[in-house]
Amino acid sequence: MDGKMSAPTQLQSAMEGLIEVFHSYSGKEGDKYKLSKAELKSLLQGELAGFLSASNDPLVVEKIMSDLDENKDGEVDFQEFVVLVAALTVACNEFFVDSIKSEEGKDGGSGCKTK
């Protein structure tokens, strides 16, 4: 390293964003390094409202909490939170790939323009 600070890469910025979002919701009650059920619900409503509204299940937050809370302590730590983000990212990527494939079939394979 030459000591110069370079601008963060897109991936580094995304990772920093995950950390900042998690900690902006954690610690409002109980352990400041974990999300309580109320904090998780607030995070989901504030940051992933589109995903929540797509589900017609009124117990979706409880189900997400149960699925994420690997150690069953009633809270979600950062590692457990990242599992949720990774699963949603995989689902979004699959949707994106399927959309591209269906578009390629329609227009003769022109490819994807993401920007």
- Domain with residue 86: its CATH number is 1.10.238.10
pLDDT bin (cut points 50, 70, 90) of residue 76 is very high
Q: Which CB contacts under 8 angstroms, 24+ apart, belong to 64-73?
A: 64/40, 65/37, 65/40, 68/40, 73/34
Please count the structural domains in the chain: 1
Question: What tens digit of pLDDT does each residue of 32-75 get?
Answer: 999 999 999 999 999 988 877 777 777 888 888 888 888 888 89
Q: pTM of the prediction?
A: 0.74
Which DSSP category does 101 fall into? H
Specify the DSSP class assigned to residue 77.
E
Please indicate, yes or no, if residue 6 is contained in any of the structural domains.
no
Q: Is residue 109 part of a domain?
A: no
- Is the pLDDT assigned to residue 114 strictly greater than 60? no
Q: Which domain holds residue 51?
A: 14-101
Q: Which pLDDT belongs to residue 1?
A: 52
Q: Let me know if residue 52 belongs to a domain.
A: yes
- The per-residue pLDDT for 106 is 59
User: Is 80 exceeded by the pLDDT of residue 92?
Assistant: yes
